[in-house]
Structure 1
Amino acid sequence: MLHVHEPVNPMFGVSKGNGRIMMLGVPMEDTLSFKPGTRFAPMVLRQVTPYLEATPTEWLGYEPLSELNDLGDVSLHQGDVEFNLSRIRSITSELLGKGLLINIGGEHTISLAVARAIRDKFNELGVFIQFDAHLDLRGEWPMGQGLSHATFARILNNEVKPSLYVNLGFRGFDEEELSYARGLNSVLLDSVELSAVSYTQLRDLLRIINDTHGPIHLSIDIDVFDPSVAPGVGNPEAGGVGYMTIYKALEVAMPLIAERLVAIDIVEYSPPNDVSNITASLVAKLIVDLMNLYLWGINCRRVRS
């Protein structure tokens, strides 16, 4: 594929599978505001994952790696934000509809390019679901900078206009951001609420997804996890959640979204800020679990239908 480098070390060391799940490295890091390093995430994950057990948290009857097709990394121009977003958008548009696309960032701004590509391809974005320590709804950040990893979600909501905006696990925000989020058609749970909500309560909250139509875009910022379990991020926020809290939320959501889910972004893993590959192993487990839950979720919907 033009402007995509084939991987020397495929993710998890597997040869290309059936291709129902495509993986794309997106090493964009142009608007960081604290600790650098997210552009190295796809490379490091490819180096580390062959040595980790690719076993999902729950055995659901599927072999996720057999479905994985690692396409390699997008070729980007370091520091050229608009060029990089345009290239990511173009490549993503080409891949959408051919299976589930999992993008490995890179900074969170890549989700704006992916959302634009979804609108290009399907003429709409039904639901944008964001797991994040932050709302990323600022008008500017840093001050005077209108396009960044801390403003992308506001631009996305203003420009792409998803029918429903969901943010789970946030704890770093200002009042203006929260007010803006509440003015959207939204489901918002901060980290305390997400930790406390029951499986049944969360399912009832997320059933609003059934009232929407159109493609669904899931974006997971690794800083949603507490720094004690995921130190390798650029903007750590204390008071986060553990792995099983996020897993529970994904397990609840996936039967609702799987058939309409077209893209997943896993962003903001920063290898230089990691400790003994703690975060790398968490991200690897998350990738396997997402693939596993996706395959299970599709089957759940088909059985129910």
Structure 2
Amino acid sequence: MSDQNLSSATLTSQSYSQANPALWQGRIDSHETGPAPRWHQQVQPSTLDAMADADPGVALLGICTDEGVRRNQGRVGAVNGPDTVRVALANLAWQLQTPLYDCGNLHCLDDQLEQLSQQQAAAVELLLQQAHLPVLIGGGHEIAYGSYLGLARYAADQHQGPVGILNFDAHFDLRHDQQPSSGTPFLQAAEWCQAHQKPFHYACLGISDCANTQALFQRADQLGVRYLRDDQINGWQLQPALELLEQFIEPLDALYLTIDLDVLPASVMPGVSAPAPRGLPLELLETLIDHARRLAGPKLRLIDLAEFNPRFDVDGHSARVASRLIHRLLRPL
């Protein structure tokens, strides 16, 4: 992979691995009388280089890192999340109406998270330039800065208007720290916006009172973050969340949707770096995702899913929930 393909980012055989077709195995319903394909029969293994000649579609890219989780004193293991999620995706029934490509994995070498973020941003920008929908699988939530940076640079090059971040998460991830980590990506995004004289649009649903200090709530307020706590979102009190999504998405030109899987209850999502004692029920999260997709339409330019940690999964349950959410994010509405 050449420097020209990824701007100033340099990828080596250690920092980038091509798609592994062996991960995409599953049932074949050869005796079914109607259409019965599954993801493993539809996915097209590819490389970032080859995506320039591919028809516009969904581009899966794994971001294999938990260096940010380690720096943030969390439970490491999310580095192995991308391939485990692929295995869970493989046997899902196919409902998509677009080509699906597996573009392989980016890897964090040693502790070089900052370099990975730049490489990831360049990959996202490249895929957007080629009219694909990047869907990134982490890895810790440190991947969010590379995701945002790629979309923000692309939007600036295209002279597009406001870019917004919609985060479903128990944490603001606005931590002020000595170095980037899984707790800092959205403060990094805010600082990038300030440096480039861009507005910072950030909404976070599912915030846990127990997991965010007063300093983080104050910083969120200072930055104009729109947020709702986990105990403010429930089946009999959903309207405020729906209205927040409408008000947040309407003025945007481009939306980046990110899910930190620790927004779900630990009973539903045990395999994460920081399990949630309460969290948002899966059925409410899916309802909010669907609503955001309807509101955004073609504004939705980038998706990622973070913090799945197979080391702490129970009977593959977390992997199946993560794959279900990806399916939900991409299926026709």
Query: 1:223-276 deviations in whole A, cap 9, x for unaligned?
Result: 000111100001112111221010011122111113111111100000011111
| Map of 1:268 onto structure 2 | 307
1:74 has 2:74 as partner: no
Equivalent residue letter for 1:7: A
| Aligned-CA RMSD value | 2.1
| 1:14 counterpart SS class | helix
1:84 has 2:116 as partner: yes
Q: Are the aligned partners of 1:27 and 1:105 in contact in 2 as well (CA < 8 Å)?
A: yes
| Map of 1:209 onto structure 2 | 248
Structure 1: gaps of 5 or more residues? 56-62, 297-305
Take 2:90 and 2:249, find their aligned partners in 1: how far apart are those partners? 38
Query: 1:94, CA displacement in angstroms?
Result: 0.8
Equivalent residue letter for 1:107: G
| Map of 1:106 onto structure 2 | 139
| Map of 1:154 onto structure 2 | 187
Q: TM-score, normalised by structure 1?
A: 0.85
Change (3 A) 1:256 1:163: farther
Query: 1:198-232 deviations in whole A, cap 9, x for unaligned?
Result: 45443322221354232111110000001111000
1:257 has 2:296 as partner: yes
Aligned residues: 282
Higher alpha-carbon Rg: 2
Query: 1:31-81 deviations in whole A, cap 9, x for unaligned?
Result: 222211111011112233334x337xxxxxxx2175321111124413211
Query: 1:83-131 deviations in whole A, cap 9, x for unaligned?
Result: 1111111111111141211000111111101111112111165211111
Query: 1:26, CA displacement in angstroms?
Result: 0.8
Question: Structure 1 vs Structure 2: percent identity of aligned residues?
Answer: 23
1:14 has 2:53 as partner: no
1:29 has 2:66 as partner: yes
Take 2:79 and 2:236, find their aligned partners in 1: how far apart are those partners? 34
Q: Are the aligned partners of 1:29 and 1:79 in contact in 2 as well (CA < 8 Å)?
A: no
Query: 1:195, CA displacement in angstroms?
Result: 2.2
| Map of 1:45 onto structure 2 | 85
Q: TM-score, normalised by structure 2?
A: 0.78
Query: 1:179, CA displacement in angstroms?
Result: 1.3
Equivalent residue letter for 1:43: D
Greater relative CO, 1 or 2 (CA 8 Å, sep 6+)? 1
| Map of 1:301 onto structure 2 | none
Take 2:275 and 2:304, find their aligned partners in 1: how far apart are those partners? 18
Take 2:67 and 2:256, find their aligned partners in 1: how far apart are those partners? 22
Change (3 A) 1:218 1:234: same
Take 2:42 and 2:250, find their aligned partners in 1: how far apart are those partners? 39
| 1:216 counterpart SS class | strand
Take 2:85 and 2:250, find their aligned partners in 1: how far apart are those partners? 37
- Aligned ranges for residues 47-196 of structure 1 at < 5 Å? 47-51=87-91, 53-54=92-93, 63-64=95-96, 66-97=98-129, 98-123=131-156, 125-140=162-177, 145-160=178-193, 162-171=199-208, 172-196=211-235
Take 1:199 and 1:191, find their aligned partners in 2: how far apart are those partners? 11
Change (3 A) 1:92 1:76: same
Q: 2:270 aligns with which of 197, 207, 231?
A: 231
| Map of 1:60 onto structure 2 | none
Equivalent residue letter for 2:259: I
Take 2:179 and 2:207, find their aligned partners in 1: how far apart are those partners? 21
Take 2:305 and 2:283, find their aligned partners in 1: how far apart are those partners? 17
Q: Are the aligned partners of 1:209 and 1:256 in contact in 2 as well (CA < 8 Å)?
A: no
Change (3 A) 1:16 1:8: same
Change (3 A) 1:127 1:279: same
Change (3 A) 1:29 1:227: same
